[in-house]
Amino acid sequence: MRILFVCLGNICRSPTAEAVMADLLEQEGYSGQIEIDSAGTGDWHIGNPPDRRAVEAASKRGLSMTSRARQVDQSDFERFDLIVAMDSSNHQDLLLMKNGDGAEVRLLREFAEGGSLDVPDPYFGGDDGFNEVLDMLELNLKALLEQVSGDA
C-alpha cells in the first residue's frame, strides 16, 4: 500500500500528516509495509522544509519532520494507491488532475469524522492552529490505518 498526503503548499498539513503516519506505522509494526509521502498542489514552496511552526508543534509530540516540499505530478496517480487530500479544494484539484484509473482520491477527515470536512490550513493563523491540525490528523490517520492495514 502506498499513500500520498496532499495539501496546498506541502509545508504544513501534508508533511505533518506524513510525520504522524510514519509514527503510527512504526508503533503498529507496519514500517516498510506501507509507503508514505506528501506533496502539494501548488508550486510556491518546492524544495523548502516544512513550516517551522509545524515542525515545532510536531516536535512537542515527539514527531520528526524532515521532508522537502514537492508538487503533485501525474505519475503520483500511478505510483500511489491512495491520495489523501487535506481539504475539499485540493481534493477537487486532484480529481481534475487524475486521468482515468489510478490512485483513489479521498479527503482525510472522511476516515474518522465523515462528510467532507476540511483540515484547516494553519499557515496564516497562530500556533494553536498547528496543534488543532495535529489533533485532527492523529484521529483520522488512526482510522485510515485501521482501514488500510489489511491491504498492507
The chain-wide mean pLDDT, for the chain, equals 94
Mean pLDDT confidence for 50-78: 96
d(CA 111, CA 105): 12
Out of 1.10.760.10, 3.40.50.2300, 3.40.50.300, 3.40.50.800, select the CATH number for domain 2-151: 3.40.50.2300
d(CA 94, CA 34): 21
**Residues taking part in catalysis:** 7, 13, 121
The pLDDT tens digits for 113-133 are 876 689 999 998 888 999 999
Give the pLDDT confidence score for residue 149 in this predicted structure. 86
pLDDT at 15 over 60: yes
Give the pLDDT confidence score for residue 151 in this predicted structure. 57
Which of 5, 11, 6, 4 has the alpha carbon at shortest distance from 122? 11
d(CA 7, CA 136): 14
Q: How far is CA 65 from the centre of its chain?
A: 12
Answer yes or no: pTM beyond 0.85: yes
Specify the DSSP element, H or E, that contains 38. Answer: strand 35-40
Give the pLDDT confidence score for residue 116 in this predicted structure. 60
Question: Where exactly are the structural domains of the chain?
Answer: 2-151
